[in-house]
Structure 1
Amino acid sequence: MGIKLAVFDIAGTTLHDESNVALVLQQTIRLAGVEVTIGEVNEVMGYAKPYAIRHLLQLKNDQRFSEEPFIQELHARFVHDMKAHYATHSSVREKDGVSAVFAALQEKGVKVALDTGFDRDITNVILERTGWQKNGLVDAVVTSDEAAFGRPYPYMIYRIMEELEIRSIQSVAKIGDTVSDLEEGTNAGCRYVIGVTTGAYTVDELKKGPHTHLVASLDELLSIF
């Protein structure tokens, strides 16, 4: 059975990222009066951002991690700042060759989907900026607030499969740049779980996660599939 669906992460995988997400999330935690390092923030890249905020506060023994209104307040600030970044910053662009890879996969009969640790508000700004959906290069998009649980749970992938009428998980590939992406694909049972080494995590860091392949460039997928 060949691959019929490729599910891609966004920031760091298909969208160029200069640690912008990590820096904004670090600043969000600082608003709570808590200092976290970029290394600590990178460990929760890929996860739904309310979960990431909660985890980082708990990591620093801040008891407010259990206060849902406080978590939502911080998340609202994160969403505001990320939307502003993706709407206006000159560095926002797709990674080299992404549109060409999407088109090549579709020509081979592979549906292209995105799933993300962002919520729908941030994701819509990215889709508008890149034009992927408008240009017909993406067949489905699911965000972390549209599933019961985000990564590392498999539910965003299953929701995409349902929407696109993909029958078997063995015809699905998951591609992402964080360990949470790899865990999501593995938990879903994807045939291929592919780590992208030019994003938030290094090769050595990604090797610690469950995977079938590691790639530096998305055009390597065309030969893998």
Structure 2
Amino acid sequence: MQRNTEQSPAYRGPLQAVVCDWAGTLVDFGSFAPTQVLIDAFAGFGIEVSLEEARRPMGLAKWDHIEALGRQDGVAARWLQRFGAPMQSSDVDAIYSNFLPLQIERVGHYSDPIPGAIDVLTQLRQRGMRIGSCSGYPRVVMNRLLEKAKADGLLVDHAVATDDLAAGGRPGPWMALDNVVKLGVPAVAACVKIDDTVPGIAEGLAAGMWSVGLALSGNEMGVTQAELAVLSQEERAQRAEAARQKLLGVGAHYVIDTIADLPAVIEAIEARLREGERP
């Protein structure tokens, strides 16, 4: 048996696409639509869930998010105390059935574009880049979100929901790679995945893309713009640094405050590509 020891040539061209998350990335500063509705869905079963608890599994498909939330020690103990047995898959199904209509109803309420998002997407298109997207939202929620985004002037070229693909969602690479196929991008190294969650960063890395985390606008910071504005400089800096370190710690190539800061990262990545670097 002979083995070819030649390395395939590195991609040295320009970036051709970005694949954006939605809540906390393009819309919904602080990522409240998923978390608050999850809290309300659990409350419908008499189980109190804190915002901090609801945020921990953020980025997963919503059924998986509910299951992971139910496995957390505090939530699991409350469930056991109330129902006398650990949460089962059938219980996850029941909570999800409660969650889904609430999420469809309320997603638009929370999903205003994050400042700078529309301008940045316009700049990327002027560079010849395509705009992909994916989400932990199921398709019925994604459709409602896309209607709202279009009305606000925020347009993408492709959007994948977590239940669109048989292979599943995050942290696997499949939604990100579906964007590569549908957008016709010839090299994954020519793509940038942008996300505010740990599973979303893992998704981009698994797909072989450059992965960019968001510290201020997303789940890790978990505050509205109004709440961010009244934080002391010290608290803002401490919390932002904790968010940056968490996302860098799981492999993000860059972490920025919000999508408004993306153009400088695009320039930096293209310089690295010209030197033959790979994600």
> Do they fold alike, i.e. is TM over 0.5?
yes
Q: Which runs of 5+ in 1 are unaligned?
A: none
Residue pairs, 1:1-225, within 5 angstroms: 1-18=13-30, 19-59=32-72, 60=76, 65-67=87-89, 69-87=90-108, 89=109, 91-131=110-150, 137-147=155-165, 148-190=167-209, 192-198=210-216, 199-202=218-221, 203=240, 204-208=242-246, 209-225=250-266
Q: Is the 8 A contact 2:23 2:111 kept in 1?
A: no
Partner amino acid for 2:175?
M
Alpha-carbon distance between aligned partners in 1 of 2:131 and 2:215, rounded to the nearest angstrom: 20
Q: Is the 8 A contact 1:55 1:65 kept in 2?
A: no
Q: Which runs of 5+ in 2 are unaligned?
A: 1-12, 80-84, 222-239, 267-279
Q: How many residues align?
A: 220
Greater CA drift, 196-205 or 168-177: 196-205
Alpha-carbon distance between aligned partners in 2 of 1:210 and 1:28, rounded to the nearest angstrom: 32
Change over 3 Å in CA distance of 1:135–1:39 after alignment to 2: closer
Q: Is the 8 A contact 1:178 1:206 kept in 2?
A: no
Taking structure 2 as the reference length, the TM-score comes to 0.73
**Which protein has the larger Cα radius of gyration, Structure 1 or Structure 2?**
2
More strand, by proportion: 1
Write out per-residue CA displacement over residues 51-78 of structure 1, whole angstroms, 9 at most, x where no aligned residue.
Answer: 01111112216555432x4323321221
Partner amino acid for 2:245?
K
Match of 2:194, SS state, is: strand
Match of 1:181, SS state, is: helix
Alpha-carbon distance between aligned partners in 2 of 1:71 and 1:5, rounded to the nearest angstrom: 36
Alpha-carbon distance between aligned partners in 1 of 2:56 and 2:154, rounded to the nearest angstrom: 33
Alpha-carbon distance between aligned partners in 1 of 2:260 and 2:112, rounded to the nearest angstrom: 17
Alpha-carbon distance between aligned partners in 1 of 2:193 and 2:67, rounded to the nearest angstrom: 26
Match of 2:144, SS state, is: helix
Q: CA deviation at 1:98?
A: 1.1
Q: Is the 8 A contact 1:103 1:137 kept in 2?
A: no
Q: CA deviation at 1:36?
A: 2.6
Partner amino acid for 2:24?
G
Alpha-carbon distance between aligned partners in 2 of 1:103 and 1:53, rounded to the nearest angstrom: 35
Partner amino acid for 1:212?
H
Deviating 4+ runs (over 6 angstroms): none
Alpha-carbon distance between aligned partners in 1 of 2:150 and 2:162, rounded to the nearest angstrom: 21
Q: CA deviation at 1:16?
A: 2.2
Q: CA deviation at 1:135?
A: 5.8
Taking structure 1 as the reference length, the TM-score comes to 0.89
Q: CA deviation at 1:39?
A: 1.3
Change over 3 Å in CA distance of 1:14–1:136 after alignment to 2: closer
Could you say what the CA RMSD is over the residues aligned between the two structures, in angstroms?
Answer: 2.1
Change over 3 Å in CA distance of 1:46–1:136 after alignment to 2: closer
